Amino acid sequence: MGEQMMNQNQQPAENKMGVMPVNKLLITMSVPMMLSMLVQALYNIVDSIFVARVCEDALTAVSLAFPMQTLMIAVAGGTAVGVNALLSRSLGEKDFDKANRTARNGIFLFIISYLVFLVIGLFLVKPFYHVQTTDVEIVKYGIDYLTIVLCMSMGIFAQFIFERLLQSTGKTFYTMITQMTGAVINLILDPIMIFGLFGFPRMEAAGAALATVTGQIAAGTLALILNLKKNKEINLNMKGFRPEGQIIATIYKVGVPSIIMQSIGSIMTFSMNQILIVFSSTATAVFGVYFKLQSFIFMPIFGLNNGMVPIVAYNYGAKKKKRMMDTYKLSVLIATGIMTFGTIIFLLIPDVLFGFFNASDHMLSMGVPALRIICWHFPIAAFCIITGTLFQALGNAVYSMINSICRQLVVLLPAAYLLAQLGDVNYVWWAFPIAEIASATLTIIFFIKMKREVIDKIGK
């Protein structure tokens, strides 16, 4: 009995996610993540700005690499969502042993994931580019860039897992430090490695890749150190570790639908490139620039998601329905405000935005209407993204997966293909608002079902 009381006394006190006022909690959890995501988006944009100054072929090559990079981030991000949700729920249930085992199995899964993409980087990059284009210069730039990004991806995988472990216990301030560290390193190294400054060899597209992975490795290393030094709520000691099938299955119950959902984005961008390259390689470059620019609007929403998931999952585990739903409603409100601001910017100054990428008159004539058309779906996407995150945090990511499949594969791509048959590339961009309206309709249906079957039963 005495030993049991001692163990209980050693358990961590109630986490702030169960007691702090929701408004303050969501802000303190999300704002650091939103700021760090903005920095991430900024260095993604700056990456392409520097590459565009090499030549348009280099910019196109980096744009064509995006589907493979999206796939890698899908695996890392989806697995991280599963680890985050299970770990936060375990803490909410006061099952600290399960939280520790979840963290250790998460680290194991990320090591395996890196090895998979190392193999892809060594053997599949060349055929990946040859499938997309026969332009020798674009293929050369692309192989140089993507081989480095994949073979040295240990940094991004380390960054994902160790930052999510910090987020799961509410320590989002530290993740802001790690992400900003990686971003600043990348920003400094980009011009040096791309253009060969200060005696460094001129590497062009390969320099952009090397600057990126260097920043990721630094951020991942720092995130590991902060976990070991500051994250006392979980124990990462891997001595005697054995993979646990039940823990891994639970992680991937949430993680696999999220991986599939994000991987669909990879399929979508690959297919859109094939639709657009029929018009010209400039059209694919415009699409690539759009994705870089829209990340500056969407990344803060993903930061908000990262702050929202552990709060919802923790309070779901603790059976505190009101705190959970207040977090969701406030998240929708904030996300809609950010997306509306993004729409206004894209409508008012698209030419200025494209000017950052050294855009030719031909690219401007194609890019300006593209931004003005696509941006109408941003506010609708805010509701869909936040509600999909609610599904994931409650352990039912299948709804998000189905929605993503329908939006991108069932609606967006067929609509883009059919609109392309009209012979004007400007029609193709309307596929994005059309697909988002379909997504919002399905999201509402799933939310009503989830509310009836899960949310209304919490605490009863």
Predicted confidence band of residue 370 (pLDDT cuts 50, 70, 90):
very high
Cα–Cα distances in angstroms (integers) from residue 31 to residues 14, 100, 168, 196, 232, in the given order:
22, 27, 15, 36, 23
d(CA 370, CA 285): 12
d(CA 91, CA 87): 6
Q: Which two tokens stand for residue 44?
A: 């993604």
d(CA 159, CA 308): 19
List alpha helices for 201-358, DSSP H.
205-230, 245-276, 281-317, 321-348, 350-355
Model pLDDT for residues 68-113, shown as the tens digit of each residue? 988 898 899 889 888 988 888 888 788 888 888 999 999 999 999 9
Does the pTM of the predicted model rise above 0.85? Answer: no
Model pLDDT for residues 148-193, shown as the tens digit of each residue? 999 999 999 999 999 989 888 878 788 888 988 998 899 899 999 9
Residue matched to tokens 């192989």: 143
For residue 203, what is the DSSP state?
-
Nearest in space to 301 (alpha carbons), one of 226, 384, 407, 422? 384
- CB 83 within 8 Å of CB 160: no
d(CA 425, CA 387): 32
Q: Is the pLDDT of residue 3 over 50?
A: no
Model pLDDT for residues 115-141, shown as the tens digit of each residue? 999 999 999 999 999 998 888 999 999
Model pLDDT for residues 44-58, shown as the tens digit of each residue? 777 788 998 898 899
